């Protein structure tokens, strides 16, 4: 029998996802699942799905799950973790969910130092509701609620969440990675692995922001989307580790993807 | 355990601990701050957890997480804070989560005031939030009853897998009275293990998904029918009320709940001395409402008086209970002003003398 060299992670279910062609949610799901598998924590992991494109994540991850109200995943994560500190708890959120309606919850969850992990997928747009402007939408980027492009005079500049969270004094692991290329994905997995490890060791709150493409709502092909992310998002949303718990060195910045 | 003089807020907090609730999430708001303050020092003594959340919105979602993970959990707030929690309570109801919410009601609308009121009756019993759901609503009239009902609330929440709300007014929060906790208290319901909770999935049971989303309309319709069955059971089995005075031959029957009913009881005792026969029905569950009890006592009384700290909210349930057009007299105080026994006595005497204008419901 030939050896299987590429299999579905144990922490993912064997179903077809509803994600659009070229969307990187599927890649990010897989990276999270591989990390859970490799740490051997699937049977004590509880995930939290947001409201947004990944609202049905509970169908794709093969572990216990909560579906949270819009933006409230970090509060739900707090409730689960405080109730059962032995669990590994992760919230999976998009940019409308986390950076707009849920900004209070993410800031205070991080500031309390809840021992949970937040996977923050930033694709610079509201995907599920049909392409409206997000707090992370790039200047000049068109969306259904800013059809001439984001006007920073009216809507301000995109929020850099990883940088914002890293200003908090409470120990945390905060990093930004991307999912637009194989090399970027490898680096994203390493960031996720560190984030989950910090939680499992009971050390600190951890959050990994992962840049993602949305060809459907960007109005681009998947290949064009990758190039657009590289050209437009990467300079504004630099990749790297922004914060580590006291005493831990930041890892070398990731190689240029 | 011997009787102990306790402030209402502290008794409510202690009752939660006695009921095995080791988790509290809340946000400061007057006039209920003594509940979180008490629990912030009490819970660590029993290995529990107190978290001061960043908002009421966050608090109720922390309850959603903790209850989903299978633990007993409570929050407390006051009227404006409950409005902020409303969305989350709907999610808890939709996801069938047992949570206990205490509302120490203050006067509104808006920021209103910080003094006692019963202005959240509609909110608690009719329109708490979006979607087709109900919560059990318990209304104590004394500190002892508050302590008892909070403990019952946890059993009822677990049994029905549904939010339970305990509503008191500012007096319930602030008064001091003797309270007794019973060491051998047994749950009032037979409670099955929470095999549905998200405790980490070892593939030895169905995967736990704590969720209120049903994109398939047929599935959601069935979910709504299932919830309705549960509400029907509550209406059948959980109605609580108490009656006082001349229930079989009253000149006037008073319908009142919470601390207002205590004021009315003082009035009833004084009126009886004057030879005026007064009865009272005191709903203890505001939902499900004791329609039958109100109907039966009202049928034997000449006149009906509703007393509330609102412009007339529970009176609508009294009207439903009567099942026929009949004048109802009404007395209220608002904005944090309280009803006095003298006012109730005067109102009953005015009714007897034909000098009280009744509200007519056709």
The answer to whether the CB atoms of A86 and B200 lie below 8 A apart is yes
Instruction: Kindly state whether residue A62 falls inside one of the protein's structural domains.
Output: yes
Residue reference for tokens 């984030």: A195
pLDDT (tens digit, 9 = 90+) per residue, B234-288? 999 999 999 999 999 899 999 999 999 999 999 999 999 999 999 999 999 999 9
The answer to whether the CB atoms of A72 and B55 lie below 8 A apart is no
Give B198's contacts in chain A (Cβ within 8 Å): 46, 64-66, 80
pLDDT (tens digit, 9 = 90+) per residue, B294-351? 999 999 999 999 999 999 999 999 999 999 889 999 999 999 999 999 999 999 999 9
Hey, what's the torsion of the CAs at B317, B323, B327, B331, to 10 degrees?
Answer: -10
Closest residue of B to A111, CA-based?
A: B54
Structure tokens at A111: 């500031």
For residue B31, is the peptide bond before it cis, meaning its omega torsion is within 30 degrees of 0? yes
Residue A136 to residue A123: CA distance in whole angstroms: 8
Domain carrying residue A106: 25-243
Neighbours of A29 (CB within 10 A): 22
Query: What is the value of ipTM here, to two decimals?
Result: 0.96
Instruction: Kindly state whether residue A10 falls inside one of the protein's structural domains.
Output: no
Longest pairwise C-alpha distance within chain A: 63
| Residue B90 contacts residue B102 (beta carbons within 8 Å) | no
- Under DSSP, the state recorded for A67 is E
The answer to whether the CB atoms of A108 and B51 lie below 8 A apart is no
To the nearest whole percent, how much of chain B has pLDDT over 70?
99
- The answer on pLDDT for A164 being more than 90 is yes
The alpha carbon of residue B26 is apart from the nearest alpha carbon of chain A, in Å, by 12
Contacts with B296 (C-beta within 8 Å, 6 or more apart), sequence order: none
The answer to whether the CB atoms of A87 and B66 lie below 8 A apart is no
- The answer on pLDDT for A257 being more than 60 is no
The pLDDT of residue B360 is 61
The pLDDT of residue A248 is 74
Q: Is residue A217 within 8 angstroms of chain B, CB to CB? A: no
- The answer on pLDDT for A254 being more than 60 is no
Average pLDDT over residues B174-193: 95
Q: Is residue A12 within 8 angstroms of chain B, CB to CB? A: no
Best mutation target among A14, A76, A111, A114 (most B Cβ atoms within 10 Å) is A76
The answer to whether the CB atoms of A72 and B198 lie below 8 A apart is no
**Whose CA is closest to A229, among A13, A1, A27?**
A27
The pLDDT of residue A1 is 77
| Residue B294 contacts residue B255 (beta carbons within 8 Å) | yes
The pLDDT of residue A249 is 67
Contacts with B53 (C-beta within 8 Å, 6 or more apart), sequence order: A75, A78, A108, B25, B26, B27, B59, B62
Facing B69 at nearest CB: one of A42, A45, A80: A80
Q: Total structural domains in chain A? A: 1
Residues forming a β-bridge with A173:
A206
Residue A63 to residue A42: CA distance in whole angstroms: 6
pLDDT band for position B357 (cuts 50, 70, 90):
confident
Q: Is residue A63 within 8 angstroms of chain B, CB to CB? A: yes
The pLDDT of residue A251 is 61
Q: Is residue A70 within 8 angstroms of chain B, CB to CB? A: no
pLDDT (tens digit, 9 = 90+) per residue, A193-252? 999 999 999 999 999 999 999 999 999 999 999 999 999 999 999 999 999 997 776 665
The answer to whether the CB atoms of B65 and A76 lie below 8 A apart is yes
The alpha carbon of residue B70 is apart from the nearest alpha carbon of chain A, in Å, by 8
The pLDDT of residue A256 is 53
Residue A145 to residue A153: CA distance in whole angstroms: 15
pLDDT (tens digit, 9 = 90+) per residue, A87-143? 999 999 999 999 999 999 999 999 999 999 999 999 999 999 999 999 999 999 999
Closest residue of B to A84, CA-based?
A: B69
Distances (CA, A) of B222 to B82, B130, B218, B228, B348: 29, 18, 6, 10, 49
Instruction: Kindly state whether residue A139 falls inside one of the protein's structural domains.
Output: yes
Neighbours of A84 (CB within 10 A): 20
Q: Is residue A115 within 8 angstroms of chain B, CB to CB? A: no
DSSP state string for B26-78: E---TT-THHHHHHHHHGGGGT-EEEE-SSHHHHHHHHHHHHHTT--EEEEE-
Average pLDDT over residues B103-127: 97
The alpha carbon of residue B94 is apart from the nearest alpha carbon of chain A, in Å, by 11
Q: Do domains B4-237 and B241-361 have the same CATH topology?
A: yes
Backbone angles phi, psi at A162, to 5 degrees: -60, -45
Where in chain B are the domains?
4-237, 241-361
Contacts with A110 (C-beta within 8 Å, 6 or more apart), sequence order: A74, A118, A165, A168, A170, A172, A174, A205, A207
Q: Determine which of A146-155, A211-220, B167-176, B351-360 has the lowest per-residue pLDDT on average.
A: B351-360
Facing A75 at nearest CB: one of B65, B203, B209: B65
Instruction: Kindly state whether residue A16 falls inside one of the protein's structural domains.
Output: no
- Computed over every residue of chain B, the mean pLDDT equals 96
What SS3 class is residue A93? strand
Best mutation target among B39, B56, B65, B90 (most A Cβ atoms within 10 Å) is B65
Q: In terms of DSSP H, where are the helices of A133-254?
A: 152-155, 161-166, 182-200, 215-218, 222-228, 234-236
- Computed over every residue of chain A, the mean pLDDT equals 95
What SS3 class is residue B143? helix
Facing B65 at nearest CB: one of A56, A66, A86: A66
Facing A64 at nearest CB: one of B51, B62, B198: B198
Residue B10 to residue B15: CA distance in whole angstroms: 8
Distances (CA, A) of B114 to A112, B109, B261, B331: 30, 11, 21, 21
The alpha carbon of residue A124 is apart from the nearest alpha carbon of chain B, in Å, by 25
Instruction: Kindly state whether residue A43 falls inside one of the protein's structural domains.
Output: yes
Residue reference for tokens 């409230």: A72
Neighbours of B47 (CB within 10 A): 7
Longest pairwise C-alpha distance within chain B: 73
Residue B285 to residue B21: CA distance in whole angstroms: 22
Rg of the Cα atoms in chain A = 17
Facing B198 at nearest CB: one of A78, A80, A105: A80
pLDDT band for position B359 (cuts 50, 70, 90):
confident
CATH of the domain at A151: 3.40.50.970
Domain covering B4-237 in this structure, CATH number:
3.40.50.970
The answer to whether the CB atoms of B199 and A112 lie below 8 A apart is no
CATH topology (fold) of B241-361: Rossmann fold (3.40.50)
- The answer on pLDDT for A160 being more than 90 is yes
The pLDDT of residue A246 is 73
Give burial (CB, 10 Å; 0-12/13-18/19+) of B213.
middle
- Under DSSP, the state recorded for A140 is T
Residue A78 to residue A199: CA distance in whole angstroms: 13
Contacts with B308 (C-beta within 8 Å, 6 or more apart), sequence order: B118, B121, B256, B260, B314, B315, B330, B332
The alpha carbon of residue B198 is apart from the nearest alpha carbon of chain A, in Å, by 5
The pLDDT of residue B362 is 43
């Amino acid at each position: 029998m030939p050896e299987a060299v590429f299999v579905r992670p144990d922490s993912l279910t064997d179903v077809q996802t509803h994600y659009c062609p070229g969307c990187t949610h599927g890649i990010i799901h897989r990276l999270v699942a591989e990390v859970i598998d490799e740490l051997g924590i699937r049977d004590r992991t509880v995930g939290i799905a947001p409201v947004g494109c990944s609202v049905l994540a509970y169908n794709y991850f093969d572990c216990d799950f909560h579906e949270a109200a819009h933006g409230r995943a970090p509060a739900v994560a707090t409730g689960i973790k405080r109730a059962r500190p032995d669990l590994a708890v992760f919230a999976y959120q998009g940019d409308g969910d986390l950076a707009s309606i849920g900004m209070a919850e993410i800031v205070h969850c991080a500031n309390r130092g809840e021992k949970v992990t937040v996977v923050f997928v930033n694709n610079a747009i509201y995907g599920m509701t049909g392409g409206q402007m997000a707090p992370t939408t790039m200047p000049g980027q068109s969306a259904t609620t800013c059809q001439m492009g984001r006007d920073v005079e009216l809507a301000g500049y995109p929020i850099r969440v990883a940088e914002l969270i890293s200003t908090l004094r409470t120990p945390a692991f905060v990093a930004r990675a991307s999912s637009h290329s194989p090399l970027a994905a490898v680096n994203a997995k390493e960031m996720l692995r560190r984030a989950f490890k910090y939680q499992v060791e009971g050390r600190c709150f951890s959050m990994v922001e992962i840049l993602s493409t949305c060809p459907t709502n960007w109005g681009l092909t998947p290949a064009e989307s990758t190039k657009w992310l590289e050209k437009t998002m990467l300079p504004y949303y630099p990749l790297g580790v922004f914060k580590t718990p006291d005493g831990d060195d930041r890892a070398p910045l990731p190689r240029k993807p | 355990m011997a009787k102990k003089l306790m402030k209402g807020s502290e008794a409510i907090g202690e009752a939660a601990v006695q009921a095995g609730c080791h988790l509290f999430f809340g946000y400061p708001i007057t006039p209920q701050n003594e509940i979180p303050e008490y629990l912030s020092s009490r819970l660590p003594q029993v290995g529990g957890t107190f978290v001061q959340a960043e908002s009421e919105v966050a608090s109720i979602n922390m309850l959603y997480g903790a209850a989903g993970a299978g633990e007993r959990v409570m929050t407390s707030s006051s009227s404006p804070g409950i409005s902020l929690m409303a969305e989350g309570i709907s999610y808890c109801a939709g996801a069938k989560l047992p949570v206990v919410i205490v509302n120490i009601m203050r006067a509104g609308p808006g920021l209103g005031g910080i003094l006692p009121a019963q202005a959240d009756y509609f909110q608690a019993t009719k329109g708490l939030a979006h979607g087709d759901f109900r919560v059990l609503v318990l209304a104590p009239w004394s500190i002892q009853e508050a302590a008892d009902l909070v403990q019952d609330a946890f059993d009822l929440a677990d049994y029905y897998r549904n939010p339970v709300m305990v509503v008191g007014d500012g007096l319930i929060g602030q008064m001091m009275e003797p309270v007794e906790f019973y060491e051998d208290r047994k749950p009032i319901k037979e409670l099955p293990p929470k095999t549905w909770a998200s405790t980490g999935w070892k593939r030895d049971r169905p995967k736990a998904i704590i969720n209120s989303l049903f994109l398939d309309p047929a599935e959601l319709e069935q979910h709504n029918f299932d919830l309705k069955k549960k509400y029907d059971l509550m209406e059948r089995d959980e109605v609580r009320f108490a009656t006082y005075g001349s229930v079989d031959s009253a000149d006037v029957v008073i319908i009142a709940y919470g601390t207002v009913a205590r004021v009315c009881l003082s009035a009833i005792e004084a009126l009886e001395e004057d030879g005026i026969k007064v009865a009272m029905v005191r709903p203890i569950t505001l939902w499900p409402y004791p329609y039958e009890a109100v109907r039966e006592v009202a049928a034997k009384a000449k006149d009906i008086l509703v007393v509330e700290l609102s412009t007339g909210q529970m009176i609508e349930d009294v009207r439903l209970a009567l099942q026929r057009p009949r004048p109802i007299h009404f007395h209220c105080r608002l904005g944090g002003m309280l009803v006095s026994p003298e006012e109730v006595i005067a109102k009953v005497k005015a009714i007897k003398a034909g000098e009280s204008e009744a509200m007519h419901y056709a």
